[in-house]
Amino acid sequence: MVRMSRLLPSLVAVALLAACAAPQNDGPESIAEKTGVELPSALQPGDGAEPDFAPGAAWSDDTRESFVVVVYGSSTCAPTATELATVDEQTLSLAFVYTQGPDAPCTADLAPNTYLLRTPDGVAATGEVSLEMTFLQGDETSDSTVPILE
């Protein structure tokens, strides 16, 4: 028979590991299908050129079922994509929220933060589509509109 005193350290270790593995819900939930995705060729700088560090968007493939958004900023305090809506056939609206946990300082690097998003219903199958992005950080809001590149 196994004594409880022998099991106790193992049970404590399992409980601590479970607590560390539990997702932290410090901010809003992301609507992105994936984050940290590879940049489509339309968003990559050409032949050794430096990126312009402006937000951008490109269709992930020819079907327009999804698209990739890139936002440059801190790699440790990336914004969270929180809301995506169809404004009209040629315009989508995407909201981002910046949150920072009390124990997670932001780094001063400039990294691409990438998001794969499912295209909502009502978007044109051909032609130019614009993406209106709104960024909320604390009490400040900024906006950027970009075409979703082919």
pLDDT digits (tens, 9 = 90+) for 95-116: 999 987 667 778 888 899 999 9
The structural domain count of the chain equals 1
Let me know if residue 60 belongs to a domain. Answer: yes
Tell me the C-alpha distance between 147 and 140, whole Å.
Answer: 24
Give the residue-averaged pLDDT of 42-46.
Answer: 87
Let me know if residue 37 belongs to a domain. Answer: yes
Residue-level pLDDT at 3: 52
Let me know if residue 4 belongs to a domain. Answer: no
Let me know if residue 119 belongs to a domain. Answer: yes
Q: pLDDT at residue 5 above 60? A: no
81 and 31 Cβ atoms separated by less than 8 Å: yes
Q: Which residue has the higher pLDDT, 118 or 10?
A: 118
Let me know if residue 20 belongs to a domain. Answer: no
Give the residue-averaged pLDDT of 54-74.
Answer: 95
**If residue 133 lies in a helix (H) or strand (E), which one and from where to where?**
strand 130-137
- For the chain, what is the mean pLDDT? 84
Give the domain range for residue 138.
26-149
Let me know if residue 115 belongs to a domain. Answer: yes
Tokens 């937000």 -> residue: 55
- For the ranges 81-85, 101-105, 118-122, 140-144, the lowest mean pLDDT is seen at 101-105
Q: pLDDT at residue 25 above 70? A: no
Give the residue-averaged pLDDT of 77-98.
Answer: 96
Let me know if residue 72 belongs to a domain. Answer: yes
Tell me the C-alpha distance between 71 and 92, whole Å.
Answer: 16
Tell me the C-alpha distance between 22 and 44, whole Å.
Answer: 35
Let me know if residue 64 belongs to a domain. Answer: yes
pLDDT in tens, 124-134: 999 999 999 99
